[in-house]
Every structure is written in C-alpha cells, then in structure tokens.
Structure 1
C-alpha cells in the first residue's frame, strides 16, 4: 500500500533485557549445543527480570521524550506481543497507555505473532490517512521468554529468543529521528498456521507455566503430517512478493542507488544466509545489515528494533531509503520502504 499522504515513523526506541546471557554460558549449561550455537551465530540473548509491559512502558517513555511529545496528545496506543504479558485475563495495551499517561488514546492489542509491529504500524498508518483528526499513534511491542515457561535457547528451530520492548510513533510530521513511510506490503500463508499448533488438542485454559512451551515440537509434528507441503518455496515466494510489491508501491526500483540498508528478522544466521537473504537479494539490492546477534529474536519487536538501530548508524543520512522485512507465525510476511528524514 502506498502512503500518498505523509506518514512518518518517528523516534523509534528499544529497551532490551538488562541481563545479557552469553552463548558460552548457554553451551556450558547445555541449553544449546556447540554445533547449533555456531550455526545460529548469536553471541548473547537479552534477558530481563521485568515483565514485558514494564519494558514497553520504558520504551514508550523513551520514544515520547525523544519526540518531544506529551502522551496526552496521542490518539492511539497499539501494543503487539507474541507471548505471555504477565497476566492472563486483561489488556496489556491499556496498561501501557495508562502508565504513560495517554488518557485520550484508544488502546488496542495486536496479535499477529512476530509480525505484530508491522501489523500495528500498518493499522496506524491507515488510520492517519483515513481520518484527519487521528494521530499521532504510539506503537509498542514487548516479549519476554523466561524459563520455565519457555526454552529460549533450545525450544525452537532456527531461532533463539531475547527479551525486549520497542516503541515508535506513527505521525503526520517527523518528530525526532524519523523516516517517512513510503509504502508497505503484506503476504500471508494461513495454510501454515498449524506449524505452531501441531497435533496438540485445543485446551480450555492457558498452559503457560504449566509446561515448557516448545515451538519446535509443533513444527515437527506439522511437517511430518504434511511432507509434501513446500514450506521453503512458500516462504521464499512470500519474501519476494512482499518486498517486490512494497518497492513497486513506493515507486522505487530494486537497484535504486538510494537504497542504503535493509534489515531482516533477527533469526539464526544460517536461516538468514540460506533462505531470507538470497530471496531478498533476488529483488532488492539494498545491503542487508546483520542486527540482533547480541539480542536474539525479540518476538513482535524485530522490525522496530531494526529501524531504531538503522537510524542510529553514522552512514544513514537524510534521503536514504531503508527496507524493513518482518515475518511472523501464521504465517505473515511484511515489507516496508522508508525514506530517512
């Protein structure tokens, strides 16, 4: 979708877990094998003693301070997550809005798994383009993957999980360090939803804390039950499709010299090198910056954390184009094209 009216992603911030867990310690504790540690390429995972929403509150406060904006000026707070937020029967989006003082905002929870931040940004952008009275909107994400409920190092294939929160303003004018959202595109493959469900029966109550969540078990069950399902080609086509459509909508050629940098999900190094990066490079020449080796995958927050890191680079200047690629269980892939303000 093309943004024909000005929409900016302003003052992105992330609050990472305050306690790094080095990969060497995880290998010694047999949380991950030496072979997988080498393939994955993470040097450490961010871990936190705080709840996810406490991290989100801090990230949101950082964004508002950098933008010079009072929380009472917000018309929306969209909060995205993938995993337990600290309570079962409540609204974490309302918690974030209340703690920040966003008394005039409508809080909304976004559940699109690890594509959540991009889903929230797209919803906020649509609202700003459709309603002259809307905005600015604050998008936050937060996830923590503490034991015993989650095995952050060894519970999944091709990814290890870090704790952290992100925040960004979706605004009509640039507020602080910003990039204009030119266009975005999303591709979904709902036929893959069972990859995170497996063969387990539906339960009548949450299982968090009762058993350790192991996504790799559901993935193995699903792939065993569907041996002819072409997951690899489906994923490749989705990446190519999302990036191509976003570029086309923005009116940007894949080899445009203004394309300064691209950031992809914070997955394991071998997954990126073998699958995501070749698919991306087939349609876009933007140099891929490797981010997140010292954080791990941040659940719903990868895209905004990547934007914050890209805008913090010395070699990214006004007028440069950035590409963000996001992916989440379900599956959903999103790509966004931005111009640095």
Structure 2
C-alpha cells in the first residue's frame, strides 16, 4: 500500500513502566534460568503498578503536547492491546478519549495481538485519507503482572515488559515526525492455534484465576502439527512484507537513504536466527536491536521502536526507516517512513 498523499506520524512517544527488573534479579528469583537469560539477552524488563490504560493516557497527553495538537481536534482514537486492560466488560479506547479530553473522537479498539500497533497506524492513515477528517491518535498499552502472567518464563523466545505508546496520524507534520510512505501486511491464519493449544473454549475470562503461559499452547499446537513449517512460513512472511513495502514506497533494497530498521523486541537468539536473516535477505538497512532493557511491549513495539530510532544521533531528515511488526494469529507488517525536517 503506497501513500501518495502525505500522511505523517507525529510525536511518537513511549511511556515505559516506572520500574526496571534486572535480569540478575530474575535469575536469583528463579523467574528465568541462567541459560535462557544468556540466550535471550534481555538486561531488564520494565514493570508498572499502574493499569496499562493509565500509561497510555500519559503517553497520549505527551504526544498531543509535543505535536501542538489539542485533544478536542482528534477525530479518531484507535487503541491496540494484547492483554488485560484493567476491566473485562469495557472499552479502553473510550476511557482514553474521556481521560485525555478527546471529546470529538470516535474511539475504536484494535485487536490484532502484537501487530496491533502497526495495524492501527495503517487503519488511521486510510481513514484520514478517505474522510479528510482531523488527526487520529493511535495508542497501545500492555502490562503483564503476576500472578496472571509469567513475564520472564511463560513464553518461548520472548520476555514481556510493561509500557504504552502514542502517536498522532495527521496530514501535516508537527514536531518530531516521519512521513508514512508505504505499508504491507501478510497473515497466516493457519497458525492461529499456536496461541490456543488444546484447551477448550472457556465460558468466562480466566485472567488472574490461573497464570497465562503461552508456551504451553505453542507446545500443544506444534505437537499436534509436527509437519507444519512454522519457520519457513515466518521467513517468507517477513521477506514478503518488507519487499512489498519497499516496492510500494519506490525504494530499492540497497537505497542509500535507508538509515535503520527496527524489528520486534524479541529474544536475541530469535532475532539472530530467524528475523534478521529473513530481513537481510531483502533489505540492506542496518538492523538496530532495541528493547533489551524493556522487554517485548506487546502491541507497542513498532511505535516504541520509531520513537527510539528518532532519538538516535545518526538519524537525520530525509533518512528512511523500516519498521517490522509481528503478532499472534499470525500477522506480519512492515512500513517505510521518511524522517521529516524538525
């Protein structure tokens, strides 16, 4: 998908959990063993005592201030998440609109698991161009506290940190921003059972009643489908979305303007063995590893990565950045953005 009409991502912000839990403490507390701690290479995970939507409200207020956009001008608020937001029968997007004063916004929830942040950006951009309405605010938020979630050892190849993100999608640049040139998405619903496993459907949420362990569902799924080529499917998906995003943006794989690429905040060995080889097969942009001191931020990795990339001293106006996102289901997305003049 090519965005010929200018669409800008303004004032990307990430509000991390207020505490950092060092990996050494997690090893001492038997939350992760030394072998996996070394393989995963996280130095710390961010944790919070706040509800995720409270972190999102903080990030949203910061984005609006930084972009000089009054909340009452926001036409749509899209909120993405992967895990419990604080209440069960409830709309967190509406809470955020009320909390920050986006009184004219249409609040919408986006549920595409960890790909939700980038999916929400694309939805906001398409709506903006189709309706000519005012700016959209895209937020994400996830927290993974015990006893409901085992952030250090509950999954394979990833540890989970608490945090929220926010970015304004508008037709004009305001403040620290990038122009969205293109986006591409590939889905593989054949893998949806990887986060469902063999467990029967439950009549009510079980969050907090038992600890959520995604790795058990993955083990059950892979045991039941031993011939399913998850690795090749993921490899092909990454190469496909990156190739399509570059093509739609009119950018060659070795374009000299490609300054940096940011991938999901997964464990180091997962990135080195799977994601980075697939990415480097089709794009020469240097891969910047982010998130070692935060953990995977659920739906927020893409916007958090954009925020971190714009903080780098070597990123300048006119540079191109590549954002790669992935989420259970499975869905992979890539976006090409160009850094604006400040």
TM-score, with length taken from structure 2: 0.99
CA deviation profile, 1:60-117 (whole Å, cap 9, x unmatched): 0110010011000000000000000000000000001100000000000000000000
Partner SS, residue 146 of structure 1 = coil
Does residue 7 of the first structure (1) align with residue 7 of the second (2)?
yes
1:294 is aligned to 293
Aligned 1:44-123 pairs, distance under 5 A: 44-123=44-123
Q: Aligned partners of 1:128, 1:183: CA distance in 2, in Å?
A: 15
Q: Aligned partners of 1:264, 1:338: CA distance in 2, in Å?
A: 14
- Structure 1 position 135, deviation (Å): 2.5
Does residue 175 of the first structure (1) align with residue 171 of the second (2)?
no
Any unmatched runs of 5+ in structure 1? Answer: none
Asked if structure 2 preserves the Cα contact closer than 8 Å seen for 1:135 and 1:170, the reply is no
Partner SS, residue 287 of structure 2 = coil
Q: Aligned partners of 2:324, 2:256: CA distance in 1, in Å?
A: 19
- Structure 1 position 240, deviation (Å): 0.2
CA deviation profile, 1:24-70 (whole Å, cap 9, x unmatched): 00000010000000000100000000000000000001100100110
Does residue 229 of the first structure (1) align with residue 228 of the second (2)?
yes
CA deviation profile, 1:174-225 (whole Å, cap 9, x unmatched): 1110000000000000000000000000000000000000000000000000
- Structure 1 position 131, deviation (Å): 1.3
- Structure 1 position 130, deviation (Å): 1.0
Partner SS, residue 130 of structure 1 = helix
Q: Aligned partners of 2:131, 2:85: CA distance in 1, in Å?
A: 31
Q: Aligned partners of 1:111, 1:101: CA distance in 2, in Å?
A: 23
Any unmatched runs of 5+ in structure 2? Answer: none
CA deviation profile, 1:291-325 (whole Å, cap 9, x unmatched): 00000000000000000000111110000000000
Q: Aligned partners of 1:92, 1:128: CA distance in 2, in Å?
A: 22
Q: Aligned partners of 1:193, 1:120: CA distance in 2, in Å?
A: 20
Q: Aligned partners of 2:291, 2:150: CA distance in 1, in Å?
A: 18
**Deviation beyond 2 Å, 4+ runs, structure 1:** none
Does residue 41 of the first structure (1) align with residue 57 of the second (2)?
no
Q: Aligned partners of 1:285, 1:22: CA distance in 2, in Å?
A: 33
Partner SS, residue 228 of structure 1 = coil
- Structure 1 position 253, deviation (Å): 0.2
2:312 is aligned to 313
- Structure 1 position 128, deviation (Å): 1.2
2:124 is aligned to 124
Does residue 207 of the first structure (1) align with residue 209 of the second (2)?
no
* Count of aligned positions: 340
Asked if structure 2 preserves the Cα contact closer than 8 Å seen for 1:260 and 1:286, the reply is yes
1:250 is aligned to 249
- Structure 1 position 4, deviation (Å): 1.2
Asked if structure 2 preserves the Cα contact closer than 8 Å seen for 1:39 and 1:268, the reply is yes
- Structure 1 position 154, deviation (Å): 0.1
Q: Aligned partners of 1:288, 1:84: CA distance in 2, in Å?
A: 31
Partner SS, residue 124 of structure 1 = helix
TM-score, with length taken from structure 1: 0.99
Partner SS, residue 167 of structure 1 = strand
Q: Aligned partners of 2:186, 2:134: CA distance in 1, in Å?
A: 26
